[in-house]
Amino acid sequence: MTDVVSLLQDFAREKLGSLMRHQAAARLVSQYDVNNTYQYVINREEVQLSWLAKAIEELGGAVPADTAAVDRTPAGKGADAARAVIDEDGRAAQAFVDRWRPRISTMANARHAKMLGVILGEELEAKRFFEQALAGRTDLLGKRGETLGPSHGEVLASRWIE
């Protein structure tokens, strides 16, 4: 069982790092639809981390602690900086899947292997979102109604203004 716990902890630690990077990216990517997509990806990662925490705790392991905030100051400014971050996230998503798929395929515990497989599937979905954003698509999470028009513009980098 300790091998399974260790594997789940490693996976959770890496997934937590991904969540932190996506939170930092959401502060940089201001286009409304793309930022909304980052919020969706972040929400899914929070759910995935809750699944991982429950599995680790059920096996008697300790859940990895939060890491420090991530600084994602890209080269360039504005749209170029956002594109660089989105591109990096797409490549990181594929690398995550490539790194973990072989390890998951050898797991004897079907329940945990399936859970990790679902997370890898959602990682590939996030990669697809990032690729579509780079292609200039704004219908990432669905088509907007006619009354709203083609674009909502941009979001603020910070939620609260004082």
SS (H, E, C) the chain: CHHHHHHHHHHHHHHHHHHHHHHHHHHHCCEHHHHHHHHHHHHHHHHHHHHHHHHHHHCCCCCCCCCCCCCCCCCCCHHHHHHHHHHHHHHHHHHHHHHHHHHHHCCCCHHHHHHHHHHHHHHHHHHHHHHHHHCCCCCCCCCCCHHHCCCCCECCCCCCCC
Q: What is the per-residue pLDDT across 1-38, written as a single tens digit (0 to 9) for each?
A: 679 999 999 999 999 999 999 999 998 888 888 999 99
CB distance 9 to 61 below 8 Å: yes
- For the record, the structure tokens of 74 come out as 């890209």
Q: What is the per-residue pLDDT across 109-160, written as a single tens digit (0 to 9) for each?
A: 999 999 999 999 999 999 999 999 999 877 766 665 555 555 555 555 555 4
Supply φ then ψ for residue 31, to 5 degrees.
-60, 130
Parse the chain into domains and list their residue ranges: 2-65+77-137
- 2-65+77-137 fold: Ferritin (1.20.1260)
Length of the chain: 162
- For the record, the structure tokens of 27 come out as 């502060």
CA 75 – CA 63 distance, rounded (Å)? 34
